[in-house]
Structure 1
């Protein structure tokens, strides 16, 4: 029996295994990184407003304090940079030393840095922001590592019939993170509001931000460590994936033993077959690498496809968050800042963002879980990009109509649908597919590269469009920002990004119903470079 094919036998039982309780345990354990990611991303937009009031209010100013643009960009952007770095580093490391070996490190980083972010210190506002940025970089580094590792681990544990749903369920833990962030922010703020009532800023600027408000943002950030800490023990108990052990570490006997233990499947026959010395495949000991011509021939277009579609998706997805405050203010969900105390503002914004997430963001994740293995990744991604473009154009073309008094409800519905089709679409599939189509020895690396491209898109969407979407009228821009092209033209640009993502999806293959080895062609005897 050829060695390149003998290792496949130990994995056939895994592809055919029934869905078991262990799969659901793995979803929760693997999903905690995404829970923490979504929790942090949701909460940081809330607490930065409170931090602005606590540290940057100017005496006698008619409006409450806000973070200066450069400080706001640093606090929000440093986590993105950390995430990008972690995706590349831990993706590479997961292929070099194994998924399990570094999996606990990412969660430990998240736990420590979530707590440390809430303990940020300094003798001045700049000092507090500097330590907050330091810890948020390393928090992002840990979160970034979870992207390639969690996706790869779940794909390698799952059977081929329900693999897409399992990976999507890991990613959908972001939805629970968003809701938890909203619940924690609302709950803690409500407690402090009742204990320490304060007047609106317009009535008494100094008293509108009680001293205890400095504790609120710290507690909210630290709370993100709790779910991660609760699952740390179970993450450390997870065995190495059978596919890594068999195909990369070349220890099929250990892979068989691990599979028997966690999935309760008998694979003694396969274990005996793969224990035999490999013969007839002298090339198998020298597999091709990431920078080889063979990889470029087999997977070069795939990598361009998974990286570029993720980049374009995140440009469109993250820039949409910029319009929330304008929409909320227009429909009266959030009163003017000066008419509220610091804690009132935090409460209103948390409630509004949670409602949007509950109506548009979270359902999309679970529609993907339900239909990913029925419709396939390709169709869902194409439809998602197309519908995102359609709804953005639906917002942009009659923009004056939507912003006129009485029409804001329709704007909110259209806005929510763009998030729904992002999550029941490319926001999920761009995460799933890179974990399914590359060889085991490069799977985490290629997923990390694709995810890092997405994070570049997130940086462009979050910060590039923050400037781009400013009004072209210098008198109407946000404080500290130069004129831009306005929201309407920005929506046209974002629709173009979605259409480009639609076209580039054709570079990505459909993995539905196929084994990982079939997609990566590791079941071929000549899957190595001379």
Structure 2
């Protein structure tokens, strides 16, 4: 219902303004002090499954691109028995997803602030599932190669994955109590580690199942490898399908109802039902008033972020995410070539047995780094995020990563000289993954979800996340351009050194960010909450669906009603 249908009253003369302002603060206080409940577990699982899928789909390409190269790549005069993708083909497949991420993060981040978190949640998973299935079914024809088709589908998938970042972060932060907000958001984000591990495990299981068939192939025609990458990527549809219903039926956050829909009474009812009773209930006959609160528009956006105290937080959050993603995705999407450069896998197998072993070594190396570095890093962050704070963990992570990447770069030649020294390089690599996650990779996700007012929270998170993915794109382009300067994989040591420089810059950008632990979202937003409701815009009655408690409704009717409202 548009604001034109309401009878405006002057804010200063309306006696309900003071009462509603106080009620708004009580509602926010109830959210901030809510005890841990099953509803918080549900939020964690529903949002976390999306990040599990995101990580699975993004990082499965690390080995899938090698498989695709074995089947659809070209041979060369120097390696007539092995196929590989060209530089442009490999770059296109790896960059397509981060480019889509940028689009999705900006677009869905903005839409979630305009239309609501609930109305957008689940749509991004439908996009991811459709694009994942499309990749697995990709083929070639006279007008388009299979690599071109994969690039298109991975871009579309990237849009969906990008949308998941701001939506999951904001829903988690806006429902969480102050004392557990950091842990809840970290637990959601930690599902990425399990997705990464699952991608490596599924790849190994599928590869082992096809071992005899692959070894039976004649080089360079490894036709059975075509089954592998399609299965590895296609299985990413399953977690999406499991989570879609729960995302479509998740309630709107009370903070959005308060500060964007401007309906204090409905927000109070939602808090009572959702956080206390575990149900989502609308009173269809309720007469309500909309309140005067700051509203999102270009002028207000410029006013808020023209204040240096606010802009520096956005810049610090965005650049910190940019810096860590330079290294995180520079390593994460190039694991196959990194293992080859480090001597853990053959770059140009000459027999089908060599090809099988090369793929197996890549899978095993990915499992080791996930178990020894990625997953522990997330859960150590979970333990300390609300006691140490976000800012100290981010500073510590950037500092340690600076040292680790410097060692890996300047001592690279010695570290790859012998099998035992390669083990030391693998240890340093796992340690870098650990301190990425027990450090800026986790905190850069959390802080933008806390540091801005409700009307811009999702937009600002989308801007910060998109900045990170721009870093990932730059990392991919530069990695593929630089790694073979001076010979195959000769420049990899200098790439580690470049990563160290970016980690140093991340230390300085972190200094611009405030500590957000044990503070309410409204306090962090740097806006005075006393008198935030300056008036009312009259009373009206919105047409709503017939009253029906959520737990008593047929599940398919709920999904149909929700989709109808979206459309």
Q: TM-score, normalised by structure 2?
A: 0.84
In structure 2, the residue matched to 1:482 is none
Q: Does 1:488 align with 2:493?
A: yes
Distance 1:278 1:232 in 2: 32
Distance 1:470 1:434 in 2: 37
Distance 1:401 1:528 in 2: 65
Distance 2:63 2:336 in 1: 11
Q: Does 1:304 align with 2:315?
A: yes
Assess if the C-alpha contact under 8 Å between 1:435 and 1:443 holds in 2.
yes
Query: Which structure dedicates a bigger proportion of its chain to helix?
Result: 1
In structure 2, the residue matched to 1:504 is 509
Q: 1:263 to 1:398 in 2, by over 3 A?
A: same
Q: 1:498 to 1:286 in 2, by over 3 A?
A: closer
Q: Counterparts in 2 of 1:442-521, with a 5 A limit?
A: 442-471=456-485, 473=486, 476-477=487-488, 486-521=491-526
Q: Counterparts in 2 of 1:1-400, with a 5 A limit?
A: 1=18, 3-58=20-75, 61-123=79-141, 126-194=144-212, 196-199=213-216, 204-206=218-220, 209=222, 211-264=223-276, 284=294, 291-297=301-307, 298-321=309-332, 324-325=335-336, 328-329=339-340, 333-335=344-346, 337-341=348-352, 342-400=355-413
Assess if the C-alpha contact under 8 Å between 2:316 and 2:512 holds in 1.
yes
Gaps of 5+ in 2: 1-17, 535-567
Q: CA deviation at 1:322?
A: 7.0
Q: CA deviation at 1:366?
A: 0.9
3-state secondary structure, aligned to 1:233: helix
Distance 1:390 1:26 in 2: 37
Assess if the C-alpha contact under 8 Å between 1:317 and 1:461 holds in 2.
no
In structure 1, the residue matched to 2:555 is none
Q: 1:247 to 1:309 in 2, by over 3 A?
A: same
Assess if the C-alpha contact under 8 Å between 1:248 and 1:440 holds in 2.
yes
Distance 1:87 1:278 in 2: 30
In structure 2, the residue matched to 1:438 is 452
Distance 1:256 1:138 in 2: 38
Please provide the CA RMSD for this pair: 2.8
Distance 1:275 1:390 in 2: 61
Q: CA deviation at 1:171?
A: 0.8
Distance 1:138 1:114 in 2: 9
Assess if the C-alpha contact under 8 Å between 1:327 and 1:412 holds in 2.
no
Distance 1:396 1:51 in 2: 30
Q: Which whole-Å deviations, capped at 9, do the CAs of 1:240-280 have from their partners, x for residues lacking one?
A: 011111111112222222222222269xxxx9xx999689x
Q: 1:322 to 1:444 in 2, by over 3 A?
A: closer
Distance 1:319 1:256 in 2: 46
Assess if the C-alpha contact under 8 Å between 2:401 and 2:500 holds in 1.
yes
**Worse-matched range after superposition: 462-471 or 348-357:** 462-471
3-state secondary structure, aligned to 1:364: helix
Q: 1:431 to 1:295 in 2, by over 3 A?
A: same
Q: 1:290 to 1:35 in 2, by over 3 A?
A: farther
Q: CA deviation at 1:490?
A: 2.4
Distance 2:258 2:383 in 1: 31
Distance 1:123 1:327 in 2: 32
Q: Which whole-Å deviations, capped at 9, do the CAs of 1:448-483 have from their partners, x for residues lacking one?
A: 000000000111112213323333x2xx136xxxxx
Q: CA deviation at 1:329?
A: 4.1
Gaps of 5+ in 1: 479-484
Distance 2:298 2:523 in 1: 17
Assess if the C-alpha contact under 8 Å between 1:4 and 1:522 holds in 2.
no
**Worse-matched range after superposition: 37-46 or 121-130:** 121-130
Assess if the C-alpha contact under 8 Å between 1:109 and 1:138 holds in 2.
yes
Q: 1:139 to 1:331 in 2, by over 3 A?
A: closer
Assess if the C-alpha contact under 8 Å between 1:385 and 1:499 holds in 2.
yes
Distance 1:324 1:206 in 2: 23
Q: CA deviation at 1:294?
A: 3.2
Q: Which whole-Å deviations, capped at 9, do the CAs of 1:503-529 have from their partners, x for residues lacking one?
A: 110111111001111111455246699
Q: CA deviation at 1:401?
A: 2.3
Q: 1:467 to 1:206 in 2, by over 3 A?
A: closer
Distance 2:390 2:433 in 1: 18
Distance 2:327 2:61 in 1: 20
User: Number of aligned pairs?
Assistant: 508
Q: 1:446 to 1:438 in 2, by over 3 A?
A: same
Distance 2:55 2:231 in 1: 17
Q: CA deviation at 1:328?
A: 3.3
Distance 1:5 1:300 in 2: 29
3-state secondary structure, aligned to 1:498: helix
Q: CA deviation at 1:91?
A: 0.1
Q: Which whole-Å deviations, capped at 9, do the CAs of 1:312-368 have from their partners, x for residues lacking one?
A: 111122223477446634765424541452444333311221111111111101111
Distance 1:321 1:291 in 2: 35
Assess if the C-alpha contact under 8 Å between 1:95 and 1:445 holds in 2.
yes
3-state secondary structure, aligned to 1:501: helix
Q: CA deviation at 1:5?
A: 4.6
Assess if the C-alpha contact under 8 Å between 1:330 and 1:408 holds in 2.
no
Distance 2:119 2:333 in 1: 38
Distance 1:103 1:276 in 2: 26
